[in-house]
Amino acid sequence: MRQRPSQLPLDLSFRPANGRDDFVVGSCNQVAVDWLDRYPAWPGPVAVLCGAPGSGKSHLLAVWGHAAGALIVQGPDLQVATLNDVIGHAQAIAVDAADLVKEPDCLFHLVNMVRDRNGHLLVAVQDPPARWTFGTADMRSRLAAAPLLELGPPDDMVLQSVLLKQFDDRQLLPDADVLRFLTDRMPRTFDAVRAIAARMDQLSLAERKKPTKPLARKVLIDLGYIETTPEE
């Protein structure tokens, strides 16, 4: 674990992603992480990673894919006609945005593929397959029967930890009260974290200031996360 500035006494739990950015584990994703850690000792060949946009499912899918040596593909890119060529002999397959697939039969074939070759399939989706209205009933039922690994909105610890890492990567050193100010007012998504860190970096450089609460307020206003209000 990397050492953090002493003025930020946060309880940070970083999960290295095999050379990629750290994945922060918290109550919002612990169950999903624990399940994926069981690979390859899954009770079945298929698992479904489910979460709202910005919940970190694509990041976690990439972490698992890297660790498992999986072939990672995007749902919208899959086509039945070329599926065999794309998948090849892969034993572990990860499909991001699987619910945006243009040809739903691809998912049905993928489930059959991994079963036939004793492989594993992880799909990342926004809504549980049981709620889908597209594709065949057989395809939906097979995915609905797989373990559903749900990602909740990031809690304060996770948001502050990811914010801190994003700031640290940019050599920004905000005080703890700045992080609390941001997490109390920002959308609870990792997309918002990245947007805030990038905008804070721009303003800090432009104004030659370290991250402060007034600067944090300006960032939130610029991004449309809060309305213009008198300074607190």
pLDDT, averaged per 10 consecutive residues of the chain (232 residues), comes to 34 36 84 94 96 89 94 97 96 97 96 96 96 94 96 89 88 92 93 93 91 95 85 54
pLDDT in the model for residue 232: 52
List of E strands, 18-127: 20-24, 46-51, 71-74, 92-96, 120-125
CA proximity to 33, closest of 69, 67, 60? 60
pLDDT in the model for residue 165: 86
- Contact between 190 and 163 under an 8 Å Cβ cutoff? The reply is no
- Contact between 17 and 29 under an 8 Å Cβ cutoff? The reply is no
Round to whole Å and give the CA distance between 232 and 229: 8
pLDDT in the model for residue 2: 38
Residues of the chain by 3-state class (helix, strand, coil), percent to 5: 45, 15, 40
Q: Token digits for 71?
A: 């072939």
DSSP H or E run through 16 = strand 14-17
Query: Count of CB atoms within 10 A of residue 204's CB?
Result: 20
CA proximity to 192, closest of 58, 61, 53? 53
- What domains, with CATH codes, occur in the chain? 14-19+154-222 (1.10.8), 29-151 (3.40.50.300)
